[in-house]
Each structure stands twice: as C-alpha cells, then as structure tokens.
C-alpha cells in the first residue's frame, strides 16, 4: 500500500511539473496573443514578474547544470515505490513523453536561454503596467 502512495505522489509532482512548464511556455504565448487581442490582464505586473522569475529559474538551472528539483523529487518517490521506469501509470507515461527529451545538455542551455531572452524582450515590446 505504501508503494501506491509513493506513485501517486510522484504522479502529482509530475502534473505540477507539467503545469509549471505550461505556465512558462503558455504564459509567453498568452502575452503576445493577449496584446494582439487587447486582453488587459496580460499587462499585470504581478503576472509578468512571476513569469519572468519562473523562466529565470529554469535558465539559471540550465547554466549551472542543475537538475530540476521537481524531477529529482519525483525520481526519489518512484525509487521508493520500486518503479524506476515511467511506464507505471497513464499520467506518468504521457507527461514524461511531453516533458522530457533526449538531447545533449547544451541544447537545453541554448533553448532555455533563447526562450528566456524572448521573455525579457517581451517586457520591452509589451510593457507590463502597475
């Protein structure tokens, strides 16, 4: 029974990880679409700072060669459950296929840095308001 709880916790962390990625990527997409469509909420300073901090954290991790704490925590929980593969549940299988790719580390450093630069540039193109 304890193993089941570890797997549920690992899947929950995976969902949170997916939502974080969706916020970072989708947030920038929504800023551009919202500017074009006239949505006022995309100018929110609170939203834009949170978005900038989120991608900044990802970029910093990639520059330092650090593994995301959510990934580490999920892997530890899967290890405690005796499930080192990601084939154990529907949620884990599909979210891992969407989130994780096999490529040299430098590919991710460049991609995250370029995306972070785009987020910073969006502050100049589409300025947040108080």
pLDDT digits (tens, 9 = 90+) for 8-29: 998 899 889 989 999 999 999 9
Q: Which two structure tokens, joined as six digits, stand for 34?
A: 């919202």
Using alpha carbons, list the distances in angstroms from residue 1 to 6, 48, 81, 88: 9, 43, 10, 15
pLDDT at 81: 85
Using alpha carbons, list the distances in angstroms from residue 63 to 11, 56, 110: 27, 11, 9
pLDDT at 84: 58
Higher pLDDT, 68 or 98: 68
Q: Which domain holds residue 38?
A: 2-125
Mean pLDDT of 76-102: 68
pLDDT at 71: 86
- Residues found in the chain: 130
Q: Count of alpha carbons within 13 Å of 70, Cβ hemisphere only?
A: 17
Residue 65, pLDDT above cutoff 60: yes
pLDDT at 104: 78
Q: Does any domain span residue 130?
A: no
Mean pLDDT of 43-65: 95
Mean pLDDT for the chain overall: 86
In the chain, the number of structural domains is: 1
pTM: 0.80
Q: Does any domain span residue 51?
A: yes
Q: Which two structure tokens, joined as six digits, stand for 22?
A: 């969706």
Residue 87, pLDDT above cutoff 60: no
Which pLDDT band, with edges at 50, 70 and 90, does 102 fall under? confident
């Amino acid at each position: 029974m304890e193993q089941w709880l570890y797997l549920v916790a690992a899947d929950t962390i995976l969902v949170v990880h997916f939502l974080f990625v969706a916020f970072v990527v989708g947030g920038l997409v929504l800023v551009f679409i919202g500017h074009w469509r006239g949505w006022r909420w995309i100018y929110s300073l609170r939203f834009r700072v949170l978005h900038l901090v989120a991608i900044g954290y990802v970029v910093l991790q990639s520059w330092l060669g650090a593994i995301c704490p959510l990934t580490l925590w999920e892997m530890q929980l899967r290890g405690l459950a005796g499930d080192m593969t990601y084939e154990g549940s529907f949620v884990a299988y599909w979210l891992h296929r969407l989130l994780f790719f096999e490529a040299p580390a430098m590919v991710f450093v460049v991609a995250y840095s370029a995306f972070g630069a785009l987020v910073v540039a969006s502050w100049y193109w589409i300025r947040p308001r108080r």
